């Protein structure tokens, strides 16, 4: 086709598009809508991808993760599909691995890591009061003993009153009658008058017989990340200390995730009030929201958690304040506390503020206070349970992820204490254990020699005799189900962090573009192989497990929607073009009669669709780009905690690129042209005599 014919072709195509405006508008609107959806969808998914990348890489994973090639499972930082931690083996010598990795170009830092679960025992309110009394007795502080006795006595009197009220409703058996008798004895003036005659014995009675009568708070499950705390803060940009202080270098220490601390470790009534307030701040009301009312009713049932934490003086103060606030002259403290907690829309703000001003100062607001030590109990790799006391230095958060549940996942623990809990020892600690074993006279025995070693014979000295002479072996009793408590020193040599074992390691890169991440990953694998280290290196999406697949799923869903929409468009465009072809039989036949070739007729239909595709697709792409630019300034608000994590903050700010626009226009044009092929072929087969017959 020469230039003259091409010019004629395009002029006719433009004329036909204008002349058949209704058909052009229908087809054009479909192309316009499809282009806009593709641009919006791509921009949204790319923004979510970028948000998730920043959420994960800047909070816990780094750009790459390294772990043992001998791992039984794949690394999943946020747990696997069974909500457990996968078995990824360990890195025996983190220092050797870090030395190799740091020499690879583009590697900025390597941070040791290990993830595990632990239990923190809370006990109950009576346990806490008795612990304070026991400590005063241990210290020999008579003034403090007298004060603590009054506090414990006040709490036990309330327990006794609760049991007496329950006795009127429940037909108790022998055990219940025994509990009632013990509570009555513990609340009697005679018991407390004679308390000092046998302080330890009476404390044992209270701890064993009275404390179990009060509901236990249970254990708190903690997910923690063991790491080099200084390196973690230095290399993960989202880390921000909220309360307390940083763990000093060379000190064992624990940092609570602030969201976890507020929502799990906080006093039950206080966090229920906080939860109701957050919901009401989102414009929900108790009058209209059944879920809010259920939270309120459950909170009322927790009044004892406040009652049993008040000493005598505090109880009198709170009782007086509640009578004034509620306008009551009658009623005891339990009754008034329950009435106080029966909040409604009108009084919630006042009672919320009153709780924190007049009640919170008199109760233990958190199960573990900053500056105190908490016991962490976990199962070691060998299968036995081990407990370590560690000091809580403060709380931290990941900036922008405060409302995200996933952003509240990890508490932080120093790497040395993590190794103790997990049962991973440094070479120095192994040498220490070996020395203790040698001093105790212990030795490894083959299976066939076990009987002789245990019971004598064969010239071997019985182990029983050796144990008697050598003394107790603190490591010999560590079997499955046993609990070994570590009283390790709170200080350690900072260099010990690098010398020991890690489960995995985060690699921070200088250039984090996708192509550079892939290039550095390949370089790391080659470096480890050259050093004789069998390691796996994965990017953040693979390391995040199912969480990392969310963007792929979102993109897949988007393209499924787009393809379905395009298939529908293809059918509509095809039908429209077929109908238009039938309406233009005379015109096409006449063109054939004056010499137009079949190829010209087919090209004419393709040209018309191309004009429509570029016009409608271009306008659709530009309108979508304008919408995204406006959207990018305002931001799309996260509707829930999970979306906060996906957006890497409370709002998502998408951006549009030239590649988004070109891809959308070209894709919509491609589908439009496919839908034109059949009508074009149909038109090309129209013969000149058809036009003549139509004329006749």
Q: Which of 195, 213, 231 is the last residue of a domain?
A: 213
Helix (H) or strand (E) holding 227, with range, is: strand 219-227
Q: Structural domain tally of the chain?
A: 3
pTM: 0.72
pLDDT at 47: 86
**pLDDT for 480:** 37
Same domain, 560 and 576: yes
Residues 634 and 538 in one domain: no
Please report the pLDDT score of residue 414 as a whole number: 95
Domain-embedded: residue 255: no
Domain, as residue range, for 208: 125-213
Domain boundary among 213, 230, 247: 213
- Strands 254-257 and 385-398, sheet pairing: parallel
Q: How far is residue 553 from each of residues 398, 546, 556, measured CA to CA in Å?
A: 25, 10, 5
Residue 601 pLDDT: 76
529, 547, 565: which is the final residue of a domain?
Answer: 547
Q: Is residue 355 part of a domain?
A: no
CB count in 10 Å sphere of residue 495: 10
> Are residues 31 and 75 part of one domain?
no
Q: How far is CA 227 from CA 252, 371, 411, 511, 514, in A?
A: 11, 20, 11, 23, 26
Residue 640 shares a structural domain with residue 541: no
- Say whether both 207 and 157 belong to one domain: yes
CB 338 within 8 A of CB 269: no
Alpha-carbon span 263 to 402, nearest angstrom: 12
Question: Do residue 563 and residue 655 come from a single domain?
Answer: yes
Q: What is the mean pLDDT of each run of 10 residues along the chain (696 residues)?
A: 68 76 79 86 84 84 94 82 71 94 96 87 71 87 87 80 64 68 88 91 87 67 92 93 94 94 92 94 92 94 85 89 93 93 96 96 89 83 77 93 82 93 64 62 57 51 41 36 47 86 95 93 96 93 77 74 75 72 71 75 79 86 91 83 78 88 87 77 72 55
pLDDT at residue 68 in the model = 94
Give a yes or no: residue 22 inside a domain: yes
Domain match, 181 and 112 both = no
- Residue-wise DSSP of 4-41: HHHHHHHHHHHHHHHHTHHHHHHHHHHHHHHHHHHHHH
Q: Measured between alpha carbons, how far is 200 from 128 in angstroms, rounded to an integer?
A: 16
**Is residue 173 situated within a structural domain?**
yes
The answer to whether residues 543 and 585 belong to one domain is no
582 and 656, same domain (yes or no) = yes
pLDDT value of residue 471: 34
Assigned domain for 344 exists: no
* Angle subtended at Cα 53 by Cα 51 and Cα 56, rounded to the nearest 5 degrees: 105
| Res 425: pLDDT | 56
Same domain assignment for residues 588 and 646: yes
Q: Is position 105 within any domain? A: yes
The answer to whether the CB of 179 falls within 8 A of the CB of 213 is: yes
Residue 428 maps to a domain:
no
CA 65/CA 448 separation, integer angstroms: 45
Q: Which residues contact 595 (CB under 8 A, 6 or more apart)?
A: none
Q: Do 559 and 643 have their domain in common?
A: yes
Do 690 and 554 share a structural domain? yes
Q: Is 346 part of a structural domain of the chain?
A: no
């Amino acid at each position: 086709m020469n230039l003259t014919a091409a010019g004629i072709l395009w002029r006719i195509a433009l004329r036909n598009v204008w002349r058949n405006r209704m058909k052009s508008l229908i087809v054009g609107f479909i192309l316009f809508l499809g282009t806009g959806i593709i641009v919006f969808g791509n921009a949204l998914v790319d923004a979510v991808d970028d948000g998730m990348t920043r959420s994960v890489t800047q909070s816990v994973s780094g750009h790459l993760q390294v772990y043992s090639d001998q791992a039984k499972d794949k690394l999943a930082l946020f747990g696997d599909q069974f909500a457990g931690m996968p078995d990824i083996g360990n890195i025996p010598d983190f220092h050797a691995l870090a030395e190799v990795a740091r020499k690879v170009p583009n590697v900025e830092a390597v941070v040791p890591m290990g993830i595990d679960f632990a239990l923190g025992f809370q006990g109950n309110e009576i346990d806490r009061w008795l612990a304070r009394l026991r400590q005063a007795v241990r210290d020999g502080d008579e003034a403090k003993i007298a004060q603590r006795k009054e506090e414990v006595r006040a709490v036990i009197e309330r327990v006794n009153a609760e049991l007496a009220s329950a006795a009127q409703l429940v037909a108790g058996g022998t055990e219940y009658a025994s509990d009632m008798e013990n509570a009555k004895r513990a609340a009697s003036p005679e018991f407390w008058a004679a308390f000092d005659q046998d302080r330890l014995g009476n404390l044992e009675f209270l701890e064993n017989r009275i404390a179990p009568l009060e509901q236990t708070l249970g254990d708190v499950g903690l997910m923690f990340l063991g790491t080099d705390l200084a390196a973690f803060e230095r290399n993960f940009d989202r880390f921000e200390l909220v309360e307390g202080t940083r763990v000093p270098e060379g000190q064992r220490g624990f940092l609570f995730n602030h969201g976890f601390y507020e929502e799990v470790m906080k006093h039950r009534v206080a966090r229920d009030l906080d939860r109701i307030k957050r919901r009401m701040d989102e414009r929900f009301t108790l009058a209209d929201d059944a879920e809010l009312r259920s939270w309120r009713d459950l909170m009322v049932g927790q009044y004892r958690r406040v009652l049993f934490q008040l000493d005598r003086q505090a109880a009198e103060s709170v009782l007086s304040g509640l009578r004034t606030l509620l306008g009551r002259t009658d009623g005891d403290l339990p009754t008034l506390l329950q009435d106080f907690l029966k909040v409604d829309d009108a009084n919630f703000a006042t009672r919320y503020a009153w709780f924190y001003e007049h009640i919170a100062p008199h109760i233990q607001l958190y199960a573990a206070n900053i500056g105190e030590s908490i016991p962490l109990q976990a199962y070691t790799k060998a299968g036995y349970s081990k407990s370590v006391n560690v000091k809580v230095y403060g709380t931290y958060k990941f900036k922008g992820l405060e409302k995200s549940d996933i952003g509240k996942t990890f508490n932080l623990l120093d790497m040395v204490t993590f190794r103790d809990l997990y049962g991973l020892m440094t070479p120095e600690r192994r040498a220490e254990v070996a020395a203790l074993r040698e001093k105790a006279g212990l030795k490894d025995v083959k299976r066939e020699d076990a009987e002789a070693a245990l019971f004598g014979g064969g010239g071997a000295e019985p182990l029983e005799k050796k144990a008697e002479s050598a003394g107790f072996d603190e490591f010999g009793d560590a079997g499955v189900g046993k609990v070994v408590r570590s009283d390790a020193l709170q200080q350690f040599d900072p260099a010990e962090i690098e010398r020991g074992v890690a489960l995995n390691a985060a690699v921070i890169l200088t250039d984090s573009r996708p192509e550079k991440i892939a290039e550095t990953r390949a370089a790391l694998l080659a470096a480890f192989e050259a050093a004789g280290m069998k390691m796996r290196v994965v990017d953040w999406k693979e390391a995040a497990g199912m969480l990392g697949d969310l963007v792929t799923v979102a993109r897949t869903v988007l393209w499924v929607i787009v393809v379905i929409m395009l298939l529908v468009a293809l059918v509509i465009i095809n039908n429209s073009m077929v109908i238009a072809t039938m309406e233009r039989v005379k015109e096409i036949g006449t063109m054939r009669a004056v010499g137009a070739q079949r190829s010209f007729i087919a090209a004419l239909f393709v040209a018309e669709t191309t004009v429509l595709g570029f016009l409608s697709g271009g306008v659709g792409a530009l309108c979508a780009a304008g919408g995204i630019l406006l959207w990018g300034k305002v931001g799309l608000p996260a509707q829930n905690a999970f979306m906060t994590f996906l957006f890497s903050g409370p709002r998502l700010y998408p951006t549009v690129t030239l590649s988004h626009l070109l891809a959308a226009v070209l894709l919509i044009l491609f589908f439009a042209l496919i839908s034109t092929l059949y009508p074009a072929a149909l038109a090309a087969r129209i013969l000149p005599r058809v036009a003549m017959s139509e004329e006749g």
